[in-house]
Amino acid sequence: MAGSEGLSVLGAPAILWKLHIVRQLRQRDRTQKALFQELVPAYNHLLEKAELLATFSEKLQLEPSEATPAPHKGSWEEESRPDSAGVSSPATLKEKWQEEEEGLRLVCGEMAYQVVEKSAALSTQQLQLEERQDRLAALEARVVQLQEARAQQARQVEEQRVKNVAQRAAYEDLRVRTGDQEAALRRLQEEASYVLEGLVQLKARAATERNLRLERRERANQARVSQELKKAAKRTVSISEVPDSLGKGIREGTETLALAGEPDSLESEACEKWKRPFRSASATSLTLSRCVDVVKGLLDFKKRRGHSIGGVPEQRYQSIPVCVAARLPVQVQDVLDAHLSEVNAVCFGPNSSLLATGGADRLIHLWNVVGGRLEANQTLEGAGGSITSVDMDPSGSQVLAATYNQAAQLWKVGEAHSKETLSGHKDKVTAAKFKLTRHQAVTGSRDRTVKEWDLGRAYCSRTINVLSYCNDVVCGDHIIISGHNDQKIRFWDSRGPCCTQVIPVQSRVTSLSLSHDQLHLLSCSRDDTLKVIDLRVSNIRQVFRADGFKCGSDWTKAVFSPDRRYAVAGSWDGALYIWDVDTGKLESTLRGPHWIVRRLLR
């Protein structure tokens, strides 16, 4: 059926052309017939008269030759005299014939002239008629095309109307379901808030009860030890008669003092006095009183905040492993599909046995590095957006990540869900780094601010307003260094409100890396260069370039090796470029799976 319709559509112009020719022929016949319908009878009448005159002229030419000539004078008289029979003379007839012939010639000339004019007018009208017929045929063809287009548009309108009806029904269904889901979400949020409040209350109650139990237990231990010491002070005893509980308490106390950093002389003195045999009651009483004081001091030292008992207090500054020498890698040791989307950030732990990776899938994966292989350890969930930066504290127990949802989030290693959310920025957070203590952190954002955070209270302790986007930050002992979009590296003193120094570079800063000795800073910028800045003189010491190296984005990272001997950066083509910091020479170019993928995509 579709084929016949196609043939009919294709054959329509040919049929119209034939009909046009037939109509033209018929119209020309009618026009010519109408024009010559009056001329043909007149022309026939003229032909008949011409034949009659020709006959008369022949007869008149023959009659004078056959008749007898008459005298000239009498002939004129005869001619002038009418015939007795009433018939006109030949001279008269000849004059009449000449007059009629002259009149007929005039009439024929006029009619011929009219015929010529009529023919010219006919040809002009015929040309106009042909033009109008051509226009009519073109208009008819255009009408046919427009009718077909109209029919097609009508079909499309009908189909679109059906689709609109279906989409409207689907939209209404989705709206109803969305309303139900929003109501369910509100209920779940309310339930979650109630559950969270209950959980917080339960935790607070449990902590309070635990503190009370520990306090009661500690008071009971203190009372028991005091009673035993008083009993022991009333009698003279040898070293073998010292109560086990007292000896255990003294040993625990001396161990605690050693861990807390007290001089070893106190422990040695106490041990020597208990090892010596007692020779008199006065000596024994003196020794026991000294022991009582020591034990009381130990018990008082073991008290901590919130009446809880613990070991040594937390160190504010953790020890950082020192790398003696770094070895250049030569090949890929392990390849894993870590995330569902792009991997935006990686970070090793302090001892390099734990690796954290963050990606656009809003997940952070922790990996154990065992024998050059990666083994899945844990997945940290709950990020509100794509991960842009990952950092681990000096103890390796916490993970800090910057996200696209205008916040940074904190996880504790071993717990899958986020511990704290540091919110306060107005744009995506591009960098989040721990300071040299795990209780403080610094974040940088595209809202042109750098913030310092107290992680114990999840509180922003300081906000630094900058004139440009912040792409990366690093932290020293009392200094914060930030790299910005306005081609500048800024230095901030943690103890002061103002910027202490500004170092300009040639292009936008994409990343910063601080050496372990805090004497050198490595920056990467969009002019396809890496720069080593000596912080002792605040001057650019080295500039690294290489053929093929290109900084492809505003978040391209460059880092020092642990021993600060090498500088490593990733290029847009998927390769890693490694420079020697001392000589400035390109040591190696590692082309792994990323380089192969980039080559295939190009």
C-alpha triplet 139, 142, 144: angle, nearest 5°: 110
| 199 or 472: which leads in pLDDT | 472
Region 494-520 average pLDDT = 88
The separation between CA 431 and the C-alpha centre of its own chain, rounded to angstroms, equals 20
Region 442-462 average pLDDT = 91
Considering the domain architecture, whether residues 265 and 388 belong to the same structural domain is answered as: no
Phi, psi of 342 (to 5 degrees): -65, 145
Residue 284: pLDDT over 80: no
Report the Cα–Cα distance between both ends of the chain, in Å, rounded: 48
Residue 281: pLDDT over 80: no
Q: For 102-131, how does the pLDDT look when each residue is reduced to its tens digit (9 = 90+)?
A: 877 787 777 777 778 888 888 888 888 888
Region 37-51 average pLDDT = 78
Considering the domain architecture, whether residues 407 and 285 belong to the same structural domain is answered as: no
In a domain, 309, yes or no: no
Considering the domain architecture, whether residues 299 and 350 belong to the same structural domain is answered as: no
- Domain boundary residue, one of 83, 112, 140: 140
Amino acid letter, residue 423: S
In a domain, 535, yes or no: yes
Structural domain count of the chain: 3
Two tokens, residue 12: 């329509």
The pLDDT mean for the chain works out to 77
Distance set, CA 138 to CA 13, 131, 134, 143, 145 (Å)? 10, 10, 6, 8, 10
User: For the whole model, what pTM was predicted?
Assistant: 0.48
- Residue 588 sits in a domain whose CATH number is 2.130.10.10
Check residue 597 and give its pLDDT: 58
In a domain, 73, yes or no: no
Considering the domain architecture, whether residues 370 and 483 belong to the same structural domain is answered as: yes
Q: For 388-440, how does the pLDDT look when each residue is reduced to its tens digit (9 = 90+)?
A: 999 999 888 899 999 998 999 999 998 888 888 999 899 999 999 998 877 89
Considering the domain architecture, whether residues 298 and 349 belong to the same structural domain is answered as: no
- Percent of the chain residues topping a pLDDT of 70: 76
Listed range (8-22, 114-128, 436-450) with the worst mean pLDDT: 8-22
Give the up-direction half-sphere exposure of residue 129: CA atoms within 13 A in the CB hemisphere.
Answer: 18
Produce one character per residue of 532-547: b if its CB has 16 or more CB atoms within 10 Å, e if not: bbebeeeeebbebebe
Considering the domain architecture, whether residues 446 and 545 belong to the same structural domain is answered as: yes
In a domain, 177, yes or no: no
- Domain boundary residue, one of 106, 123, 140: 140
Check residue 595 and give its pLDDT: 64
Give the up-direction half-sphere exposure of residue 59: CA atoms within 13 A in the CB hemisphere.
Answer: 11
In a domain, 525, yes or no: yes
Burial class (CB in 10 A: 0-12, 13-18, 19+), 461: exposed
Give the pLDDT band of residue 596 (cuts 50, 70, 90). low
d(CA 514, CA 473): 10
Burial class (CB in 10 A: 0-12, 13-18, 19+), 499: middle
Region 75-102 average pLDDT = 62
Residue 349: pLDDT over 70: yes
In a domain, 167, yes or no: no
Check residue 75 and give its pLDDT: 42
Check residue 388 and give its pLDDT: 92
Considering the domain architecture, whether residues 286 and 348 belong to the same structural domain is answered as: no
C-alpha triplet 302, 307, 313: angle, nearest 5°: 45
Which domain range does residue 126 map to?
96-140
Considering the domain architecture, whether residues 285 and 365 belong to the same structural domain is answered as: no
In a domain, 414, yes or no: yes
In a domain, 518, yes or no: yes
Considering the domain architecture, whether residues 570 and 423 belong to the same structural domain is answered as: yes
Considering the domain architecture, whether residues 483 and 580 belong to the same structural domain is answered as: yes
Considering the domain architecture, whether residues 245 and 352 belong to the same structural domain is answered as: no
Residue 35: pLDDT over 90: no
Considering the domain architecture, whether residues 452 and 502 belong to the same structural domain is answered as: yes
